[in-house]
Amino acid sequence: MVTLLENFTPLSSFSGGLLIGLAATLLLLFNGRIAGISGIMSGLISPGKGEIFWRLVFLLGLVLGALLVKAVIPDSIKIREGFPYGLLAIGGFLVGFGTRMANGCTSGHAVCGIARLSKRSIAATLTFIVSGMMTVYLLRHLIGLSV
């Protein structure tokens, strides 16, 4: 029992989640937009009129928010080392390809879509969580990747 759930951080995770929920609430209330990060990012590829600046400042805000927490709690940031860049590039490509195909990612589907009880978002969330779990099982426990 000692090693079970040793890295579990329910309180900081729940508090961080409340902030994410607050951000999504304000963006919908004031701007009528869904705080789906993949959608906000991909909307910059061929943007219509008035669709560039708010997306850029939102994404800039993500960076600033992370820096803010780092300034207050310096050891809140862990940077992984030694993970193969090639695997990151392949994985990142699949993240971009898949989220654009499915019209959303963890934020758009799992946080905003489920809040509207959207069947599509519930199905998407279950699918990417199960797919992610199967991928980790395959890589870590069948192939034995140790990074």
Q: How far is the CB of 8 from other proteins (least distance, A)?
A: 6
Q: How far from chain centre, in Å, is Cα 98?
A: 13
Given 2, 30, 143, 146, the residue binding other proteins (CB under 8 A)? 30
Q: How far is the CB of 49 from other proteins (least distance, A)?
A: 14
For the stretch 26-40, what's the b/e string if a residue is b when 16 or more beta carbons lie within 10 angstroms of its beta carbon? ebeeeeebbbbbbbb
Q: How far is the CB of 90 from other proteins (least distance, A)?
A: 7
Q: How far is the CB of 146 from other proteins (least distance, A)?
A: 11
Q: Does residue 134 belong to the site contacting other proteins (CB under 8 A)?
A: yes
- Identify residues 61-100 at the interface with other proteins (CB under 8 A): 61-70, 73, 76-80, 83, 85, 87-100
Dihedral sign, CA of 62, 52, 112, 123?
A: negative
- Nearest alpha carbon to residue 110 among 121, 101, 94: 121
Q: Does residue 47 belong to the site contacting other proteins (CB under 8 A)?
A: no
Given 74, 119, 143, 144, the residue binding other proteins (CB under 8 A)? 119
What is d(CA 21, CA 23) in angstroms, rounded to the nearest whole number?
5
